[in-house]
């Protein structure tokens, strides 16, 4: 068949276990790791649109913004390399931290990585609260980034490994829900603290990051590690006891996979192991999904939403309020994904979301091009125009929030075999952070240079990513994580990379023979 197709799960094993109250609470607690990421995404854009913050740390930007009149080019009013470095330094730190987190997650468990992420993020938030200079702000952002790198590497793995396979999608999407809640809370905090007279409300906005960090730290301390992690570290009896407890059944022998642990221990360099031909499908999606996720343009709307709305002529409070509205849409739409991702499948939501984002990108591009043109002079903005732009952005965000947002974390975390799972998840996080850094660093310059053409840039990428998903991604819903390798053997394209059972057995025997020699 030409398309990616739906691979039947009828031949896979149906492991016992339901979504018990204990597992649900465990997943909710673990998913709180998304709060710190979401809060930072939401808070940074709001703070960088506050005049007192700009006046104290970025006076050149404040002066340029103050001097711009309605007749001036609105596209370039926030263009500053230092300002974008404040926003994007976090993502570069998260990129490097995710690589370190891979070793810690594998050697000491998912729980330790989660705890490390929470503590580091908390220290960074404290430093930002008391910052007196730009370098203190950026160092604080770097510490925040290290915390996010650890959390984003370990939390999706934890959720996918703990959840019963029939509910894995919904449980994993809780991470994305936490991100959207963090963004929503940050937008509300920005809007509220911007009203404080005296010009110090931005410190409260940045300091608010301590609260989700403490929630994540306390939550991590209460969690037990996953059975997969315990197996990987040779704690077999503890792993089996843990699996029995979270599945709520008397027998887990089928799911209890000791063989995967033995294969994992034989791998001396998991990073080099990713280059093996048989892992080509998983590595492809570990790279391409987070790459495409950033090129939807969604993070532009999230961490630059107030700046973007302000550029489009909304006032200070109106821009923060519009960002609050879009944040609420983001959270509500993610609930749709939690409810239906395991019913309709991953491919359906990827494709539906892609089409929805594409249509809205066209509307947004036409609306901004019509009013702002090339010179960036919109004149007076009518109320109908403002409503149209905000409505189009909300529909676009909803399309992302029930597709590429949650699935960008869910699909990579569920397709890796145990022996490469930790290192492959680090690749996903690293790619995500590379391109988040890239977009954050150059967005304001691109907006100034490309004008409304910037939205055409993202529109073209949405077309490409939707076609790639249609052609190359098989369906993963309803398949136990231990049985996921079978979907590639039935796919029209990936089956040529994945060895059949006889070849796999020969490879294992060859490895054992080499060890004996």
The predicted-structure confidence for 410-426, as pLDDT tens digits, reads as follows 999 889 887 788 888 88
**pLDDT at 402 exceeding the cut of 50:** yes
- The predicted structure's pLDDT at residue 71: 45
CATH domain 27-223+267-478 topology: Growth Hormone; Chain: A; (1.20.1250)
**pLDDT at 247 exceeding the cut of 90:** no
Report the half-sphere exposure of 48 (CA within 13 A, side-chain side).
33
Extract the tokens encoding 464.
């490409």
**Verdict on whether the full-model pTM lies above 0.75:** yes
DSSP assignments along 188-252, one per residue: HHHHHHTT-TTS-HHHHHHHTTHHHHHHHHHHHHHPPPPHHHHHHTT-HHHHHHHHHHHHTSS--
**pLDDT at 517 exceeding the cut of 60:** no
Neighbours of 51 (CB within 10 A): 14
The pLDDT tens digits for 269-307 are: 667 888 889 899 999 999 999 999 989 988 666 645 555
Q: How far is CA 344 from CA 338, 341, 403, in A?
A: 11, 6, 12
Extract the tokens encoding 379.
């004149």
Residue positions counted in the chain: 517
**pLDDT at 165 exceeding the cut of 90:** no
- The predicted structure's pLDDT at residue 440: 72
Least confident span in 72-81, 238-247, 341-350, 351-360: 72-81
103 pLDDT tier (thresholds 50, 70, 90):
confident
Q: What angle do CA 38, 44, 47 make, to 5 degrees?
A: 135
What average pLDDT does this structure show over 323-328?
Answer: 81
Q: What is the CA radius of gyration of the chain?
A: 23
* Helix-strand-coil split of the chain, %, nearest 5: 75, 0, 25
Extract the tokens encoding 20.
């018990």
- The predicted structure's pLDDT at residue 441: 74
Q: Measure CA 104 to chain center.
A: 20
5 pLDDT tier (thresholds 50, 70, 90):
low
As a whole number of angstroms, the distance between CA 317 and CA 381 comes to 16
As a whole number of angstroms, the distance between CA 153 and CA 174 comes to 15
Q: What angle do CA 472, 473, 476 make, to 5 degrees?
A: 155
Extract the tokens encoding 204.
């409260």
As a whole number of angstroms, the distance between CA 348 and CA 436 comes to 25
């Amino acid at each position: 068949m030409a398309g990616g197709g739906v691979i039947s799960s009828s031949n896979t094993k149906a492991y016992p276990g339901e979504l018990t109250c204990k597992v649900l609470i465990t997943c909710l607690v673990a998913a709180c790791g998304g709060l710190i990421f979401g809060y930072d995404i939401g808070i940074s854009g709001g703070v960088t649109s506050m005049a007192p913050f700009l006046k104290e740390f970025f006076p050149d930007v404040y002066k340029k913004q103050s001097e711009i009149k309605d007749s001036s080019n609105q596209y370039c009013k926030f263009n500053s390399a230092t300002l974008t470095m404040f926003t994007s330094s976090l993502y570069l730190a998260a990129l490097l931290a995710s690589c370190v987190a891979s070793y810690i997650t594998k050697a000491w468990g998912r729980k330790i990585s989660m705890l490390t992420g929470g503590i580091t993020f908390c220290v960074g938030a404290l430093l930002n609260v008391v910052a007196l200079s730009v370098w203190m702000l950026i160092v604080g952002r770097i510490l925040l980034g290290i915390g996010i790198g650890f959390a984003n590497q370990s939390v999706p793995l934890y959720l996918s490994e703990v959840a019963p396979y029939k509910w894995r999608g919904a449980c994993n999407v809780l991470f994305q829900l936490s991100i959207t809640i963090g963004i929503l809370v940050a937008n509300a905090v920005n809007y509220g603290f911007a009203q404080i007279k005296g010009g110090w409300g931005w410190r409260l906005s940045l300091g608010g990051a301590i609260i989700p960090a403490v929630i994540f730290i306390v939550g991590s301390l209460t969690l037990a590690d996953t059975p997969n992690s315990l197996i990987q570290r040779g704690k077999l009896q503890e792993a089996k006891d843990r699996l029995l407890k979270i599945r709520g059944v008397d027998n887990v022998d089928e799911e209890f996979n000791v063989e995967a642990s033995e294969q994992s221990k034989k791998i001396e360099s998991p990073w080099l192991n990713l280059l093996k031909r048989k892992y080509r499908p998983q590595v492809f999606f570990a790279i391409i999904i987070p790459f495409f996720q950033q090129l939807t343009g969604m993070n532009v709307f999230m961490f630059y939403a107030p700046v973007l709305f302000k550029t489009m002529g909304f006032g200070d409070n109106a821009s923060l309020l519009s960002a609050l509205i879009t944040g609420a849409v983001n959270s509500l739409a993610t609930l749709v994904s939690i409810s239906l991702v395991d019913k309709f499948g991953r491919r359906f939501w990827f494709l539906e979301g892609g089409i929805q984002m594409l249509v809205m990108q066209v509307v947004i591009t036409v609306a901004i091009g019509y009013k702002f043109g090339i010179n960036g002079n919109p004149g007076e903005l009518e109320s109908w125009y403002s409503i149209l732009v905000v409505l189009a952005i909300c529909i676009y965000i909803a399309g992302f929030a029930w597709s590429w947002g949650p699935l960008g974390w869910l699909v990579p975390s569920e397709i890796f075999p145990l022996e490469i799972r930790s290192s492959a998840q680090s690749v996903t996080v690293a790619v995500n952070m590379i391109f988040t850094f890239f977009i954050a660093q150059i967005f304001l310059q691109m907006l100034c240079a490309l004008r409304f053409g910037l939205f055409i840039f993202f529109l073209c990428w949405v077309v490409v990513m939707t076609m790639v998903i249609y052609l190359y991604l098989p369906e993963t819903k309803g398949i136990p994580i231990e049985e996921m390798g079978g979907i590639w053997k039935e796919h029209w394209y990936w089956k040529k990379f994945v060895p059949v059972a006889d070849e796999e057995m020969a490879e294992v025997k060859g490895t054992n023979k080499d060890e004996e020699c």
